[in-house]
């Protein structure tokens, strides 16, 4: 028996997706070693464990032919000079793509391939970004308000976090003189 069609509601201001089945929370302690300034990370974690981002998903079959639907909110802030960001990932099936739609706030989509290509796209409310197959992706909140975006990707894409945990991203986004600046990641390993 095939699945029946159904509606959902997406609040364009808050990113709230209803109904959704699961909200995942990522605090600084879940992202140890991902920000460049490990001393700043240690100092913050001594006192606090700030929420970096959360994402809500509708649970749909992880099968070819279906789609996955999610909204993410990255809270504003920095660890040292580096803006709050998602962990970032490749897809477990690397030949799958993804679409992001910016809803609120301002930030940047960082993308890279295992061969060492790199691209970035500024995403504001209304920006639609297409992430082709084989491009790892991470979102970064460069603003002072929550950064909210909507994502749609193939049902069987899955997530590969391990490769980004090992190599990091080629470039990182830091604040310099009050403005975002993309710099080479001194820890990047191909």
92 binds, among Zn ion, ligand S6P, none (CB under 5 to 8 A by kind): none
84 binds, among ligand S6P, Zn ion, none (CB under 5 to 8 A by kind): none
Q: Which of residues 98-127 bind ligand S6P (CB under 6 A)?
A: 98
Q: Which is nearer to ligand S6P, 23 or 145 (CB)?
A: 23
CA torsion sign, 46 to 47 to 49 to 51?
negative
Contact call for residue 90 and ligand S6P (CB under 6 A): no
Assign 3-class secondary structure to 14-47: CCCEECCCEEEEEEHHHHCCCCCCHHHHHHHHHH
Whether residue 184 contacts residue 112, with contact meaning beta carbons closer than 8 Å, is answered with no
Quote the distance between the C-alpha of residue 17 and its chain's center: 17
Q: Which is nearer to ligand S6P, 161 or 187 (CB)?
A: 161
CA dihedral 188, 55, 68, 104 (to 10 degrees): -90
Among 15, 35, 82, 86, binds ligand S6P (CB under 6 A): 86
Q: Which of residues 59-78 bind ligand S6P (CB under 6 A)?
A: 70, 72
**78-79-80 Cα angle (round to 5):** 100
70 binds, among ligand S6P, Zn ion, none (CB under 5 to 8 A by kind): ligand S6P
Contact call for residue 83 and ligand S6P (CB under 6 A): no
Task: Compute the radius of gyration of the chain from its Cα atoms.
Answer: 16
List residues near ligand S6P by CB under 6 A: 55, 70, 72, 86-89, 98, 137, 151, 153, 159
């Amino acid at each position: 028996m095939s699945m029946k069609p159904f509606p959902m509601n997406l609040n364009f201001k808050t990113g709230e997706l209803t109904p959704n089945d699961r909200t995942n929370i990522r605090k600084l302690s879940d992202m140890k070693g991902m920000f460049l300034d490990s001393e700043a990370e240690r100092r913050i974690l001594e006192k606090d464990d700030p929420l970096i981002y959360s994402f809500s998903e509708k649970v749909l079959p992880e099968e070819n032919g279906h789609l996955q639907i999610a909204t993410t909110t990255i809270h504003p802030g920095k660890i040292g000079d580096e803006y709050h960001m998602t962990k970032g990932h490749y897809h477990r099936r690397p030949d799958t793509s993804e679409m992001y739609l910016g809803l609120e706030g301002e930030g940047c989509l960082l993308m890279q391939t295992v061969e060492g290509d790199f691209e970035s796209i500024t995403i504001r409310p209304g920006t639609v970004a297409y992430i082709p197959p084989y491009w790892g992706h991470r979102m970064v909140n460069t603003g002072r308000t929550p950064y909210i975006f909507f994502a749609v990707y193939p049902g069987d894409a899955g997530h590969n976090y391990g490769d980004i945990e090992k190599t990091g991203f080629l470039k990182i986004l830091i604040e310099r003189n009050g403005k975002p600046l993309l710099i080479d990641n001194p820890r990047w390993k191909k």
